[in-house]
Amino acid sequence: MSSLKPGSTIGILGGGQLGRMLAQSAVQLGYRAVCYAPPGDNIAADVCVDHFENGWGDKAALAAFAAKCDVITWEFENVPLSVLDALPAERVVPGKRALEIAQDRLNEKLFVEELGATCAPHMRVDNEDDLKRAADRVGTPGILKTARDGYDGKGQWRIASAHEAGGIRFPGRTCIYEGLVEFETEFSVILVRSKDGAVKYWDSTSNRHEGGMLVRSALPAGKLIEAQVEEARDIAGQTADALGYVGVLTLEFFATKQGPIFNEMAPRVHNSGHWTIEGAATSQFENHIRAVAGLPLGGTETRFAQIEMRNIVGEDALAAHQILAEEGEPHLHLYGKKEAREGRKMGHVTRVSNSAD
């Protein structure tokens, strides 16, 4: 397939901050952006020439959206598969298979294990009795997760003991129970794959989470992560090839004394890659647009000796402009969300330096 000509339209499924930053990169490269999302605070619409606020099941609206788009991508993995079925398959990049795998934690684990990845011990759980058996076989402490949905730690319950497993109120849908992994730190492998199969990787940051939400990503990542990146990249690259993936793909890992342990996959641009906007030769957002548009990929080299990205959450956004007074030219990104709710990602700040300190 030839590359999209300037002035073509890229459709984005989803209206959040990832869609907003994808749209900004699309506009930079001379494209028009149109987003589609259910009614809500769809901040991506601010930088799109048009937007559709319709339900995922509105086939007429989806058809009208598709008619405006030369290629269609997504900003998050919880877009219903039925939406993709209603769109022209040849225009949807990456393909449906990536969402089918990523939307089910059980299928995701099995998929990467077949490629040679090591995962935490886990079992499928369909009811209270299954949970008791899982807690006994896998052991405690552990985490019960819904097999589908869940984002930023939602849909997860930590279980400290077999007794606690017996008393939990089961959520009433298929789940996965995972044994806790003893890890030193967390990291992600973010890659971009072109339509001709070329793959490029960004450096892996050390990631810190609180309450299931990413708080901080930093480079240098440390010796443990640096020693395990190549093995993790091999799994990520095999995953992208097996899916015939096009665009940015993210795999998250635990760095342990035994090596990298796969945690989860995100078939999209990722929060732990926001640092690439200022910190890399080409950002994850621009390279995703390049890939889905059939353009040559940009370089992924890191441009600074030290980089730190921090999320701005909840009411911290109300005082975020004070960050601009700091020395070192911090790079502030506020997403334009109307309400600064507790636990809601409102923006991020990236600090870069070539100091060796």
Please write the tens of the pLDDT for every residue from 97-117: 999 999 999 999 999 999 999
> What was the pLDDT predicted at 154?
65
Type of residue numbered 133? R
pLDDT band at 8 (very low <50, low <70, confident <90, very high): very high
Q: Give pLDDT, residue 162.
A: 76
Task: Say whether pLDDT at 67 is over 90.
Answer: yes
Does residue 352 register a pLDDT over 60? yes
Report whether pLDDT(265) > 90: yes
At 241-257, the pLDDT tens digits run 999 999 999 999 999 99
pLDDT band of residue 163 (cuts 50, 70, 90) is confident
Residue 158 or residue 228, greater confidence: 228
294-299, long-range: CB within 8 Å, 24+ apart, which pairs? 294/1, 294/2, 294/3, 294/4, 294/194, 294/195, 295/3, 295/4, 295/29, 296/194, 297/192, 297/194, 297/198, 297/200, 299/200
* Average pLDDT value for residue range 141-154: 78
What is the DSSP code (8-state) at residue 162?
H
pLDDT at 128: 87
Report whether pLDDT(56) > 60: yes
Which of 31-45, 54-68, 154-168, 192-206 has the lowest average pLDDT? Answer: 154-168
Q: Which residue has the higher pLDDT, 329 or 278?
A: 278
CA-based R_g, the chain, Å? 20
* Residue 224 phi, psi (nearest 5): -65, -50
Q: Report how far residue 275's alpha carbon sits from residue 229's, in angstroms, rounded to the nearest whole number.
A: 18
| pLDDT at position 150 | 63
Task: Return the pLDDT at 153.
Answer: 57
Q: What is the pLDDT of residue 27?
A: 98
Tell me phi and psi for residue 223, to 5 degrees.
-65, -35
Section 271-282 average pLDDT: 98
pLDDT greater than 60 at residue 1: no
Query: In this model, does residue 191 exceed pLDDT 60?
Result: yes
